[in-house]
């Protein structure tokens, strides 16, 4: 392959074994001359080091955010006993990868970023030169910058029971997974300073009043810090159940996709700042599991849904239930299209939409009707046509909203397609002349070739051809305009009917002559040769 230049390997290359031999072809692109050699690939192991999170705490007592660190104290934790390696420390990851700009005195390093900085240790195999890199977090006060000191809150209970706090859970949150760190809680600064009367973390803590300030002492194997937290009581979420509600089906089977989100505002009593989740059982709602989708398919006409209403600010929640009864939509029939032949060419016509109601419903009782120019307006019941008995229509679709006066907002929508056809205009049609060769007075006429002239740009119309006006009027015995027609006399009158494609009754008629003409006869000319003069200039 290297000699022929075939099957070149692309970079990057994934080796199949630790030791491989590849063949290299070097070619002069100008001359095509080439030479080959070999390349040995040996994959060496990097040092295996501890890449877990590493921390160095300066325990800086002046809390100014800067301190002196002995970076080498972390080396045993990183090396975990491996030998035959060298270490260096670097301020950036790129420097650690390349082995450049090592910290000159890692035994006495002052951080350059306040309070918390990340440096990198590079561990290099003394034989292979391969290196591994891992980050080190250096904190001037780890117990303050590496922990998660925050206020804690609980939700007010409905039954009046005193709220309680789990100090062990609070400690776990504050420690933030730092190793060998503990937290003690005190009710007063004096107790904290004297290190007496620390709260028992094994027991639930029930403060006598809320909010309540606690004083905390954080301890590690090297130092300790003090801080404060606030215990807060969030108000309970307690909205009344919306009870029983109805939901309108789109047909009459009482099974539909229910938009559960449409109830959220009512469930939260119209108040902002709350989220509502829906569940099939009370247990699921209390445990906040198996949440229902926003659009839920009911299996029975009446169902019970459980809600969990959550405060977005505090996370406090309330579980309630409500009942949904699915109601049928009014039964309707599809309306026939309204097709109008407009003889004034403006594309508009006055129509009485109310005449379509009897087509759409068979029983008018307990029904209200409105007409709309868009489906969205029909669905929302807005922007109804003001005077449906005298509607100036164009070619469009009007939507009829049929609403039950007994079942609230339950409604059905039926579209009415309106087609306003303009009366065809037939221009003065030119005679169709066929030029014959054999002088017999008969010709082949393809009438389809006259369509474009007769239509004269009119859209949505068709042309048909007849031998007499009566046939054109009744659409009988039309001539096949795609085939050659042989005249019986010359000239001969051909009758034309132009009708709208969607309404054959909206038509106009005209006529033109077909006639056969003779091509002039002539004698074939003989070639004419002329001799040039002595100049031979071709003239």
Average pLDDT over residues 41-53: 92
Whether 276 has a pLDDT exceeding 80, the answer reads yes
Nearest one of 421, 381, 420, 383 to 402, comparing CA atoms: 381
Whether 135 has a pLDDT exceeding 80, the answer reads yes
What is the percent of the chain with per-residue pLDDT over 70, rounded to a whole number?
A: 98
Dump pLDDT digits (tens) for 492-523.
999 999 999 999 999 999 999 999 987 766 67
Whether 533 has a pLDDT exceeding 70, the answer reads no
pLDDT at 336: 94
Average pLDDT over residues 230-259: 92
Q: Is the pTM of this model over 0.95?
A: no
Average pLDDT over residues 126-152: 95
Residue 463: CB atoms within 10 Å: 21
Average pLDDT over residues 322-332: 93
Burial (0-12, 13-18, 19+ Cβ within 10 Å), 416? buried
pLDDT at 437: 77
Q: Which two tokens stand for residue 52?
A: 């877990």
Whether 532 has a pLDDT exceeding 70, the answer reads no
pLDDT at 169: 96
Whether 534 has a pLDDT exceeding 70, the answer reads no
pLDDT at 184: 97
Strand order in the sheet with 492-500: 432-436, 503-518, 492-500, 461-466
pLDDT at 11: 87
Whether 538 has a pLDDT exceeding 80, the answer reads no
Break the chain down into helix, strand, coil percent, rounded to 5: 15, 35, 50
pLDDT band at 194 (very low <50, low <70, confident <90, very high): very high
Dump pLDDT digits (tens) for 391-442.
999 999 999 999 988 877 789 999 999 999 999 999 999 999 998 877 788 9
Q: What rounded mean pLDDT belongs to the chain?
A: 93
Give 51 or 31, the one with higher predicted confidence. Answer: 51
pLDDT at 504: 93
Helix (H) and strand (E) counts in the chain: 11, 30
pLDDT band at 364 (very low <50, low <70, confident <90, very high): confident
Q: Which two tokens stand for residue 507?
A: 């038509």
The whole-angstrom distance between residue 118's C-alpha and the CA centroid of its chain comes to: 39
- DSSP letters, 137-193, are EEESSHHHHTS----EEEEPPTT-PPP-B-HHHHHHHHHTT-TT-EEEEESSHHHHH
What is the percent of the chain with per-residue pLDDT over 90, rounded to a whole number?
A: 81
Whether 531 has a pLDDT exceeding 90, the answer reads no
Burial (0-12, 13-18, 19+ Cβ within 10 Å), 77? middle
Dump pLDDT digits (tens) for 65-97.
999 999 999 999 999 999 999 999 999 999 999
Among 30-39, 156-165, 478-487, the range scoring the smallest mean pLDDT is 156-165
Average pLDDT over residues 211-218: 96
Contact, 514 vs 447, CB < 8 A?
no
pLDDT at 161: 78
């Amino acid at each position: 392959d290297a000699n022929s230049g075939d099957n070149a390997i692309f970079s990057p290359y994934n080796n199949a074994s630790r030791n491989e031999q590849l063949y290299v072809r070097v070619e002069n692109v100008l001359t095509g001359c080439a030479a080959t050699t070999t390349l040995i690939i040996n994959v060496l192991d990097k040092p295996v080091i501890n890449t877990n999170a590493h921390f160095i705490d300066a325990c800086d007592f002046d809390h100014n955010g800067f301190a002196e660190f002995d970076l080498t104290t972390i080396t045993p934790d990183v090396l975990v006993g491996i030998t035959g390696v060298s270490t260096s420390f670097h301020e950036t990851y790129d420097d650690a990868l390349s082995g450049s700009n090592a910290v000159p005195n890692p035994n006495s390093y002052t951080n350059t970023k306040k309070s918390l900085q990340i440096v990198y240790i590079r561990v290099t195999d003394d034989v292979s030169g391969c290196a591994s890199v891992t980050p080190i977090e250096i904190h001037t006060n780890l117990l303050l910058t590496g922990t998660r000191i925050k206020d804690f809150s609980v939700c007010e209970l409905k039954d009046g029971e005193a709220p309680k706090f789990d100090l062990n859970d609070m400690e776990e949150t504050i420690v933030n997974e730092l190793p060998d760190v503990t937290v003690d809680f005190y009710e007063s600064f004096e107790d904290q300073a004297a290190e007496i009367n620390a709260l028992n973390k094994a027991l639930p803590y029930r403060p006598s009043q809320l909010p309540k300030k606690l004083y905390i002492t954080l301890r590690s194997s090297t130092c300790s810090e003090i801080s404060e937290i606030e215990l807060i009581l969030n108000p309970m979420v307690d909205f009344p159940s919306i009870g029983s509600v109805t939901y309108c089906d789109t047909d009459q089977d009482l099974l539909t996709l229910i938009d559960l989100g449409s109830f959220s505002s009512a469930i939260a009593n119209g108040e902002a700042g709350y989220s509502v989740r829906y569940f099939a059982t009370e247990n699921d709602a209390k445990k906040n599991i198996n949440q229902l989708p926003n659009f839920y398919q009911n299996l029975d006409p009446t169902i019970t849904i459980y809600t969990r209403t959550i405060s977005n600010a505090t996370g406090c929640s309330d579980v309630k239930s409500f009942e949904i009864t699915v109601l049928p939509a009014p039964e309707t029939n599809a309306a026939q299209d309204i097709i109008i032949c407009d003889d004034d060419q403006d594309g508009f016509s006055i129509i009485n939409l109310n005449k379509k109601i009897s087509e759409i419903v068979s029983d008018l009782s307990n029904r209200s009707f409105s007409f709309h120019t868009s489906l969205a307006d029909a669905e929302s019941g807005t922007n109804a046509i003001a005077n449906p008995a005298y509607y100036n229509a164009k070619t469009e679709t009007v939507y009829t909203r049929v609403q039950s006066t007994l079942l609230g907002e339950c409604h059905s929508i039926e579209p009415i397609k309106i087609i306003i056809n303009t009366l065809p205009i037939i221009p003065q049609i030119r005679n169709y002349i066929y030029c014959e060769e054999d002088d017999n007075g008969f010709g082949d006429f393809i009438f389809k070739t006259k369509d474009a002239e007769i239509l004269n740009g009119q859209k949505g119309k068709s042309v048909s051809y007849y031998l007499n006006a009566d046939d054109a009027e009744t659409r009988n015995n039309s001539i096949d305009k795609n085939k050659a027609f042989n005249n019986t006399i010359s000239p001969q009158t051909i009758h034309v009917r132009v009708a709208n494609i969607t309404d054959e009754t909206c038509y106009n008629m005209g006529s033109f002559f077909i006639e056969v003409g003779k091509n002039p006869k002539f004698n074939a000319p003989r070639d004419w040769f002329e001799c040039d003069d002595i100049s031979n200039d071709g003239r």
